[in-house]
Amino acid sequence: MKTETVIKAVNLTKMFGDFTAVDNICFEVYKGEIFGFLGANGAGKTTAMRMLCGLSKPSSGEASIAGFDVYRETEKIKSNIGYMSQKFSLYEDLTIAENINFFGGIYGLSDKELREQSESLIEKLDLRKNANKLVGELPLGWKQKLAFSVAIIHKPSIVFLDEPTGGVDPITRRQFWDMIYDAAAGGITVFITTHYMDEAEYCNRVSMMVDGKIAALDSPANLKEQCSAATMDDVFYQLARKAKRS
Partner 1 sequence: MDVIVENISKSFNKGKVKALNDVSFAVKKGELFGIIGPDGAGKTTLFRILTTLLLADDGTASVNGSDVIEDYKAIRNKVGYMPGKFSLYQDLTVEENLTFFASIFKTTVEENYKLIEDIYVQLEPFKNRRAGKLSGGMKQKLALCCALIHRPEVLFLDEPTTGVDAVSRKEFWEMLKRLKKEGITILVSTPYMDEANLCERIALIQKGEILSIDTPVGITEQYPDQLYAIKSDNMSMLLKDLRKSVNVKSAYSFGEYHHIAFSENFGDNPLQTNLLEANNHTNFKMMPITATVEDCFIHLMTKPEVDEN
Question: Which stretches of the chain bind partner 1, using CB under 8 A?
Answer: 39-42, 86, 139-141, 163, 166-172, 174, 177, 181, 195-202, 220, 231-233, 236-237, 240-241, 243, 245-246
Rounded to whole angstroms, the Cα distance separating 161 from 113 reads: 24
Give the shortest CB-43-to-partner 1 separation in angstroms.
Answer: 8
Q: Given the complex with partner 1, which of 41 and 60 has the nearer CB atom?
A: 41
Q: Given the complex with partner 1, which of 128 and 241 has the nearer CB atom?
A: 241
Q: Given the complex with partner 1, which of 86 and 101 has the nearer CB atom?
A: 86
Residues 6+ apart with CB under 8 A from 153: 82, 100, 103, 104, 107, 109, 117, 121
Give the shortest CB-164-to-partner 1 separation in angstroms.
Answer: 13
Rounded to whole angstroms, the Cα distance separating 1 from 218 reads: 12
Look up residue 11 and give its amino acid: N
Q: Given the complex with partner 1, which of 5 and 46 has the nearer CB atom?
A: 46
Give the shortest CB-198-to-partner 1 separation in angstroms.
Answer: 4
β-pairing, 19-30 vs 5-16, is antiparallel
Residues 6+ apart with CB under 8 A from 134: 92, 93, 94, 95
Give the shortest CB-49-to-partner 1 separation in angstroms.
Answer: 15
**Pick from 23, 35, 21: which is nearest to 213 by CA?**
23
Q: Given the complex with partner 1, which of 119 and 182 has the nearer CB atom?
A: 182
Q: Residue 101 is inside which H or E element, if any?
A: helix 96-106
Rounded to whole angstroms, the Cα distance separating 228 from 16 reads: 36
Give the shortest CB-65-to-partner 1 separation in angstroms.
Answer: 26
